[in-house]
Amino acid sequence: MAIGDCYSVLLGTGTVTRQPSSGVFEQVSSAVHYGAADQLLIYNGSTSVVFIDSSMQTGTPESDVHSPRYNPYNNAHLSGNTVYMRKEGTTDLYGISGVQVDA
């Protein structure tokens, strides 16, 4: 990826991390969570801070004929190789999106 490239990923039903390569920084700008079991953390490899608590839902799916939509949790977190996003738990899906801001 290059500076200015957008990404959108699903963090699946296991413990999953979104860790950029060394020297790369991404700004997480939104997250979607529908469930009540897993947390999304800011993680440095040994300690963590809760970014989205397991009980926080970003809204129920609102659907029309074509596609489901969720209300995102809008935020800003600069994620790099040493401090990054980690989804803990084995139940819920999280979707995160953002943009690469440095390489």
Model pLDDT for residues 7-59, shown as the tens digit of each residue: 998 888 889 999 999 999 999 988 888 777 889 999 999 999 998 888 887 76
Residue ranges making up the domain that contains 14: 6-59+72-102
Per-residue pLDDT, 61: 57
Concatenated DSSP letters for 28-93?
EEEEEE-SSS-EEEEE-SS-EEEEE-TT------EE-SS-EE---EEEEEEE-SSSEEEEESSS--
Q: Is residue 67 part of a domain?
A: no
Strands 16-18 and 48-52: unpaired
Q: Is residue 78 part of a domain?
A: yes
Q: Is residue 66 part of a domain?
A: no
Q: Is the pTM of this model over 0.85?
A: no
Per-residue pLDDT, 34: 73
Q: Is residue 1 part of a domain?
A: no
* Helix or strand run (H / E) with residue 16: strand 16-18
Average pLDDT over residues 61-72: 59
Per-residue pLDDT, 66: 52
pLDDT for 92 beyond 70: yes
**Number of domains composing the chain:** 1
CATH of the domain at 17: 2.60.120.340
